[in-house]
Amino acid sequence: MSVHSQTVPMRTFWLFFLVLLFVHQDFWNWSDESLVGLGMPIGLFYHALFSLACSALGVWAVTRAWPTEWEKYAEEKSPPSTKSNQIRKGDSEQ
């Protein structure tokens, strides 16, 4: 199993993300100044609700698309050959 194997939940996450990205462009409220919930103008109230939707997507992501494999990968002992953070000048730029 690959650490990149959570294909379906990740694709769903991206789909939700793109939908929210579109929903964010609320040109349909652009000129509307009417005051709605809590005395807020609609252009602000809409985006406050949008923030709640982002949080809901966060809940979905951590419950349905959590990258468990990466979590396990981090906790495993690193083999000596992968200690390449010590790359020094000349090591790799031949």
- Residue 7 touching another protein (CB under 8 A): no
- Residue 9 touching another protein (CB under 8 A): no
Site string for another protein, 58-77 (x = CB under 8 A): xx-xx---xx--xx-xxxx-
- Residue 12 touching another protein (CB under 8 A): no
Task: Give 57-61 contacts, CB < 8 A, sequence gap 24+.
Answer: 57/13, 57/16, 57/17, 57/20, 60/13, 60/16, 61/13
Q: Tell me how far the alpha carbon of residue 56 is from its chain's centroid.
A: 11
Instruction: For residue 45, report the phi and psi dihedrals to the nearest 5 degrees.
Output: -60, -45
What are the residues whose beta carbons fall under 8 Å from the beta carbon of 41, sequence distance 6 or more? 32, 33, 34, 35
Q: How far apart are CA 90 and CA 44, in angstroms?
A: 55
- Residue 86 touching another protein (CB under 8 A): yes
- Residue 52 touching another protein (CB under 8 A): yes
Could you say which of 7, 28, 39, 80 contacts another protein (CB under 8 A)? Answer: 39
The footprint of another protein (CB under 8 A) covers 1-4, 13, 17, 20-21, 24-27, 30-33, 35, 38-41, 43-44, 47-48, 50-52, 54-55, 57-59, 61-62, 66-67, 70-71, 73-76, 78, 81-93
